[in-house]
C-alpha cells in the first residue's frame, strides 16, 4: 500500500476550468440564424407501400424549395430572401429567419424515386416515395391439405 500526501486543493477546480465548463454547458446556439441552417424540422414515416416525409416551411413558396434524391439520401433545400427593411420603423424584434435552410435524410427503405410525388400546401411540404418492389413485404399464404 502506497501512502500519498493529502492535498485539499487537488480536487478543487480552478476558476478558469469552472468558467470554461460553464460556457461549454450553457451556450446554446439560437434556433434562428443568418446564413445556412441545417435544423429544418421533419417528420418521416413509412407504410407498407410508401415512405412519407413532411417538413413545415411557413412563409415559403413552392418555387423556393429545391429537392434532390441521390443514393438513398433526400436533400431538402429552401431559400428565403430578406424582405425590405422599413427605414422609418423601430424594430423591437427581428427573428424572422432568412437565408438558406437544408436537411439531408437517409430514407429507411429502397424507394422508386421516379414515381415520387411532392406537394406543398399551407406551408407544409409533403413528399411521398413509393417503395421499390424489392422493399415491399410479400405475404405468402399457407395452404393446408
pLDDT digits (tens, 9 = 90+) for 20-41: 777 766 655 444 444 455 667 8
pLDDT in tens, 67-81: 999 988 999 998 877
- The pLDDT of residue 34 is 44
Calculate Rg over the CA atoms of the chain.
Answer: 26
Q: For the chain, how many structural domains are there in total?
A: 1
Structural domain contains residue 16: no
- The pLDDT of residue 85 is 67
Structural domain contains residue 24: no
Give the chain's mean pLDDT. 80
Structural domain contains residue 42: yes
Q: 104 and 73 in contact (C-beta within 8 Å)?
A: yes
49 sits in the region (left: phi over 0; alpha: psi -120 to 50; else beta) called alpha
Structural domain contains residue 52: yes
Structural domain contains residue 11: no
pTM of the model: 0.62
- The pLDDT of residue 9 is 67
pLDDT in tens, 114-125: 999 999 998 899
Structural domain contains residue 6: no
CA 132 to mean position of chain CA atoms: 25
Q: Which three cell numbers stand for residue 45?
A: 414515416
- Domain boundaries, position 130: 36-82+98-136
Structural domain contains residue 20: no
The CATH number of the domain holding residue 73 is 2.60.40.790
- The pLDDT of residue 80 is 76
- The number of beta carbons lying within 10 Å of the beta carbon of residue 56 is 13
**What whole-number percentage of the chain has pLDDT above 90?**
29
Amino acid at each position: 500500500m502506497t501512502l500519498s500526501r493529502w492535498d485539499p486543493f487537488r480536487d478543487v477546480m480552478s476558476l478558469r476550468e469552472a468558467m470554461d465548463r460553464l460556457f461549454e454547458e450553457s451556450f446554446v446556439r439560437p434556433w434562428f440564424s443568418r446564413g445556412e441552417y441545417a435544423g429544418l424540422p421533419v417528420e418521416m414515416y413509412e407504410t407498407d407501400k410508401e415512405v412519407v416525409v413532411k417538413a413545415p416551411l411557413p412563409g415559403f413558396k413552392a418555387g423556393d424549395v429545391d429537392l434532390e434524391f441521390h443514393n438513398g439520401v433526400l436533400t431538402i433545400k429552401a431559400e428565403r430572401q430578406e424582405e425590405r427593411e422599413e427605414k422609418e420603423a423601430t424594430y423591437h424584434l427581428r427573428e424572422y429567419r432568412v437565408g438558406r435552410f437544408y436537411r439531408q435524410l437517409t430514407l429507411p427503405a429502397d424507394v422508386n424515386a421516379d414515381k415520387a410525388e411532392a406537394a406543398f400546401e399551407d406551408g407544409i411540404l409533403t413528399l411521398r416515395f413509393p417503395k421499390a418492389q424489392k422493399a415491399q413485404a410479400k405475404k405468402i399464404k399457407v395452404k393446408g391439405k
